[in-house]
Amino acid sequence: MGRRLAGVCVLLLMSLPACGQGGRQPGAELGAVGDVREGFTIGLLLPGEGPDRPLFTRALASLCPRCHVQYANAAGDQARQGRQIGRMLADGVRVLVLGAVDPGAAAPWVARAKLSGAKVVAYDRLANGPVDAYVATDPARVGREQALALLGAMKAAGPVLLLNGPATDPYAATVKRAMHAVLDGRVTIGWERDLTRPDEAVREVAAAVAALGGPAKVAGVCCASDAAAEAVAAEMARTGMAGVPLIGHGGRPAALGRVQAGTQTATVRADVAAQAAAAARLAVEVAGGRTVYGTAVVSNGTTVSIPAVLVPPAVVTKAPARKAPAPAPGTARGQGAPSH
């Protein structure tokens, strides 16, 4: 009996360190909300449908095979996204990767997540509030590349139209500043507006054309998004502005099609795979309570010194037509030659 009781006491003593650590595994840091060895759930909240989800899921699987992704698509509805965040927090999700519908209005939801003990990684757009980390395509590089693409495509020195993103969006504001750093003093900016929604672009183009004296007076148009560029391209075709340089941002499949068709001059494309991989890494690191590092440190107006990974963009223009190779001497055209 005495030996059996002593054995039980030894087992209890052996279990005390684990209990005192709150169940944390060796290497886990203070403030951890998830353990890679056991796996945990990461909430991926996006403003709309896109290629991000499968890329993020695949990247996460390589870092944390036992982790699970709980996905929500807000379909552009800010209130809906708020409800989705609330449901995830109620379900016990303690790591959120948030692509905010409205970055400025996201602060209360980010604060609620933090009060519940959750970590928040802002994705693609820098949400307000106490976010732990941020990943996006580098907005300064986007603005610079858009401006350079516009300058390179312009055939006349006339005025240009700049249709920027929302004034309340820190990302859009950075793109705008970088664009002006290139364009100011080199071209005349005949019309500039900060758009709340992409569908406002048609109205602004019509107003600009009227104010400047007709479509022939416009030398180029630069849009904050390919969604706005889509609306502008339709308006340009209607008003006889075919051939006027049109620059977008985002790299949507429809935009790539317009670029190849010649109805949009260029788009500055995000490297979604690189963004998703960086977001997965940051989510795992903040979950483990570790100090995270990025390529920069940013502020969102409510929180300073946010570690950020800013991914370089790529400019997409129309690919030159491939020239078929000449047939080998003595060979009929198309026989024995590879097809393209």
Q: Which residues pair with 161 in a beta bridge?
A: 191, 221
pLDDT for 30 equals 55
Output the pLDDT for position 301.
83
- Mean pLDDT per block of 10 residues along the chain (340 residues) reads 40 34 40 93 94 96 97 96 97 97 93 96 94 96 97 91 91 95 96 94 94 93 95 91 93 91 94 96 96 92 93 89 43 31
Please tell me the distance from the alpha carbon of residue 232 to that of residue 226, in angstroms, as a whole number: 9
What CA–CA distance (Å, rounded) separates 260 from 327? 27
Predicted pLDDT of residue 329: 42
Say how many residues make up the chain: 340
CB–CB of 110/83 below 8 Å?
A: no
Rounded to whole angstroms, the Cα distance separating 128 from 105 reads 7
Contact of 164 with 192, CB cutoff 8 Å: yes
Q: Quick one: pLDDT at residue 168?
A: 82
Where are the strands (E) in 65-167, listed by range?
A: 68-73, 95-98, 119-123, 133-137, 160-164
Strands (E), the chain: 41-46, 68-73, 95-98, 119-123, 133-137, 160-164, 189-194, 220-223, 246-250, 266-269, 296-298, 306-311, 314-317
Position 169 scores a pLDDT of 83
